[in-house]
Amino acid sequence: MLNVPRREWLRQSACGFGHTALLGLLASEHMPGVARADGPTGSPLAAKPPHFPARAKRVVFLFMHGGISHVDSFDPKPKLAALNGQPLPLPKPKFEFAPTGNLLASPWEFRRYGQSGLEVSDLFPLIGSHADDLCVIRSMHGGDQVSHGPALLAMNTGSGVFARPSLGAWTLYGLGSENDNLPGFISLSPSLYHGGTQNYGSAFLPASFQGTRIGDGSTDFKSTRLSNLVSPEDPALERLQLDLLAARNHRHAGLAGGDPRLEARIESFEMAWRMQAEAPRVFEIERETAGTLARYGVGVEPTDEYARQCVLARRCLEAGVRFVQVNFSYPRNYWDAHGDLRNNHTTNARKVDQPIAALLADLKARGLFDDTLVIFGTEFGRTPAAQGSDGRDHHPHAFSVWMAGGGVKGGVTHGQTDEFGYYVAEGKVTMPDFHATILHLLGLDHERLTFRHAGRDHRLTDVSGTVVRDILA
């Protein structure tokens, strides 16, 4: 079951004194740090102008949990086939999760797609059909994070060690939200493990920037319900109760001499009432046409679950949600192919290939593609050398992600790994670089997007990060 509402449900909305008071309240009084933060006062969730003109207004982050093998998906390495079963002629990394053996050829063929001729393996033929829109970064580097927890946190928050705000929270902090009755940052089916809530949390940022979780990695998305958002009560009776509550609260507030905090709380109940009416309309994907649902793969296996998530993601984006993370996550869905790579990756790819391709097409058809940044990412790659006979181990030393849509070049690759895919050979992109680039596309300067906490200005990229200008359209 779902527990949709978290504290960040808050929106600004046109609602008189209570609203105004609420904004002021949230902006300063009781959130140490906000008052001292740079940026406009007012609601932390009010839409804010970017630092410079943005190329993307919103983000959909397709997160593949477990570590997709780069050399089997977006980074072809013919040398692996040529030297299959032979030792890596280079030193292996200082950090390895477990010992690995000799080089392992990819079980998949790579094909060139579109005018660009971008190479994608047979794992993702439908994503491949969008090759001319994809910008594949083949030179991602995940630092020293060789296990899932820290690697997930590094990908999502910039730090594998410390509790830091997530990418979505920073985005919301920087840009605010554009919908009054929906959360600004939604994470669909995030894993409860490997950092859990931290991966979409707000850490020291005010809680209003925290992601709202819908479903979790342990539960089939289809059975996810918006529990607290749905009243078990007859609306008329509920209104009766709310009216009683409002009357009592107003009397109390009157005696208290107009404390804005009390007004804000009165308003929060009214806002909750409106959200009960509004949010389910967005969350009911059944409102889509049968044709749309079919294109995504809703209702058929193995695509049903991720297709539902992708449809919902598009509906959220359309409704003004700033940041949607669509997780394919542990423990039910997991790319962690320590053994039987072929079976693991085939099974997983079949679940996501069609929904993602449909999402790209749908965004285009609705005119959302050009100002929506689509990110396809994973916490690390997998070793070009075999683990056991037919698996691959964790590999943060080089891996691939791709972006598409708002502000990135299509049909290109950035960076290179060596001929075995072991190390980055050119154009290394670290996690801070990756994050700096995403913020840049959103019109935010990663060095200026700061929040004062524990005596210093923190930023998503901490003390490094360089925008990968190569990939900017």
Partner 1 sequence: MAIILATVIVGASPARADSAEDHFEAVVRPLLVERCHACHAGDEAKGGLRLDLRAGLVRGGDSGPAIDPGQPPLESLLIRAVNHTDGLEMPPDGRLPQPQIEALIAWVTAGAPWPDSPESSDSPTSPQAPRQPAIEPIAPDHPSLASALQLWLRADNLALDDGAPVPVWPDASGHGRDASATKGIRPDGQGLAGSFVRESTLARRPAVRFTNATGYASSPSLPVPIKGDAPHTLVAVVNLKLHDVGNPHDGILGIGDPANPGADPGLPLATILQINRAENHALHVAGGWNHDASLGAGSFFPHYGRPTLLVAVKEPGPMRSSTRVFINGLPVAVAEGRDTIPDLRHRTDIGAFLGKAVSWSGSILGDVGEALVFSSALDDASRVGLEAWLGEKYALDLGGPHRAPRSTYTAAERAHWAYQPLFDLTLSAPHTQTAPTAIDRFLAPQIAALGLPPVPEADRATLLRRVTFDLTGLPPTPEETTAFRADTSPDAWSEVVNRLLASPHYGEQQARHWLDVVRFAETTANDANAVMTQAWRYRNWVVDACNLDLPYDRFLVEQLAGDLLPSSGDAATDAARTIATGFLMIGPKALAETDKEQSRLDIVDDQIDVTGRAFLGLTLACARCHDHKFDAVRTTDYYALAGIFRSTEPFQNEVRNASMWWEYLVPAGDGRDPIMVMAPKETLPRNLRVHLRGNRFQLGGIAPRNIPGLFSAPAVGAAGAADGDHPRTLVTSGGSGRIELARWIASEQNPLTPRVMVNRIWQQHFGRGLVATSDNFGTRGESPTHPELLDWLACRFIESGWSVKALHRLILNSAAYRRAAAPAALRQADPDGRIVASNQRRRLTAEQLRDAVLAASGGLDRVPGSDESARVLLEKAEDIGAMIKPNRLAVDDPVYTTFTKRSLYLPAVRNMLPDVLALFDAADPNGVTALRNETTVPSQALFLVNSPFVRGQALAFARSLLADASLDDRGRIDRAHARALGRHASPEEIAEALAYVAAWTESTAGQARPAETRREEAWQSWCQALLCSNEFAYLD
Applying the rule CB under 8 A, the residues between 27 and 46 that interact with partner 1 are 29-32
Instruction: Show contacts with partner 1 in window 348-367 (CB under 8 A).
Output: none
Judged by CB under 8 A, does residue 280 bind partner 1?
Answer: no
Query: Can you say how many angstroms the Cα of residue 422 is from the centroid of all Cα atoms in its chain?
Result: 26
Nearer to partner 1, 265 or 332 (CB): 265
Judged by CB under 8 A, does residue 7 bind partner 1?
Answer: yes
Nearer to partner 1, 248 or 281 (CB): 248
- Spatial CB neighbours of 350, under 8 Å, sequence gap ≥ 6: 302, 303
Shortest reach from residue 363's CB to partner 1, in Å? 27
Judged by CB under 8 A, does residue 207 bind partner 1?
Answer: yes
Helix, strand, coil percentages (3-state) for the chain, rounded to 5, are 35, 20, 45
Judged by CB under 8 A, does residue 464 bind partner 1?
Answer: yes
Nearer to partner 1, 398 or 468 (CB): 468
Q: What are the CB-based long-range contacts (under 8 Å, 24+) for 200-203?
A: 200/156, 200/166, 200/168, 200/169, 200/325, 201/157, 201/163, 201/165, 201/166, 201/169, 202/8, 202/165, 202/166, 202/169, 203/157, 203/163, 203/164, 203/165, 203/166, 203/169
Nearer to partner 1, 23 or 127 (CB): 23
Shortest reach from residue 378's CB to partner 1, in Å? 17
Nearer to partner 1, 203 or 310 (CB): 203
132 exposed, middle or buried (CB, 10 Å; 0-12, 13-18, 19+)? middle
The site for partner 1, by CB under 8 A, has a size of: 98
20: helix, strand or coil: helix
Nearer to partner 1, 15 or 47 (CB): 15
Tell me how many degrees the CA angle 431-435-436 measures, rounded to the nearest 5. 115
Shortest reach from residue 317's CB to partner 1, in Å? 21
Judged by CB under 8 A, does residue 456 bind partner 1?
Answer: yes
Of the candidates 237, 290, 300, 365, which one interacts with partner 1 according to CB under 8 A?
237
Nearer to partner 1, 22 or 71 (CB): 22
Q: What is the Cα–Cα distance from 141 to 370, expressed in whole angstroms?
A: 27
Judged by CB under 8 A, does residue 322 bind partner 1?
Answer: no
| Sole window of 252-260, 320-328, 353-361, 402-410 interacting with partner 1 (rule: CB under 8 A) | 252-260
In contact, 362 and 225? CB cutoff 8 Å: no
Judged by CB under 8 A, does residue 135 bind partner 1?
Answer: no
Judged by CB under 8 A, does residue 423 bind partner 1?
Answer: no
Judged by CB under 8 A, does residue 196 bind partner 1?
Answer: yes
Of the candidates 261, 342, 350, 409, which one interacts with partner 1 according to CB under 8 A?
261
Query: Can you say how many angstroms the Cα of residue 4 is from the centroid of all Cα atoms in its chain?
Result: 17
- Spatial CB neighbours of 316, under 8 Å, sequence gap ≥ 6: 182, 186, 282, 324
Judged by CB under 8 A, does residue 240 bind partner 1?
Answer: yes
Q: What is the Cα–Cα distance from 133 to 120, expressed in whole angstroms?
A: 13
Tell me how many degrees the CA angle 346-352-354 measures, rounded to the nearest 5. 105
Judged by CB under 8 A, does residue 116 bind partner 1?
Answer: no
Q: What is the Cα–Cα distance from 423 to 436, expressed in whole angstroms?
A: 22
Q: What is the Cα–Cα distance from 370 to 366, expressed in whole angstroms?
A: 10
Of the candidates 78, 87, 89, 258, which one interacts with partner 1 according to CB under 8 A?
258
| Sole window of 81-89, 100-108, 165-173, 227-235 interacting with partner 1 (rule: CB under 8 A) | 227-235
Of the candidates 103, 262, 316, 374, which one interacts with partner 1 according to CB under 8 A?
262
In contact, 47 and 13? CB cutoff 8 Å: no
Of the candidates 85, 259, 365, 366, which one interacts with partner 1 according to CB under 8 A?
259
Judged by CB under 8 A, does residue 381 bind partner 1?
Answer: no
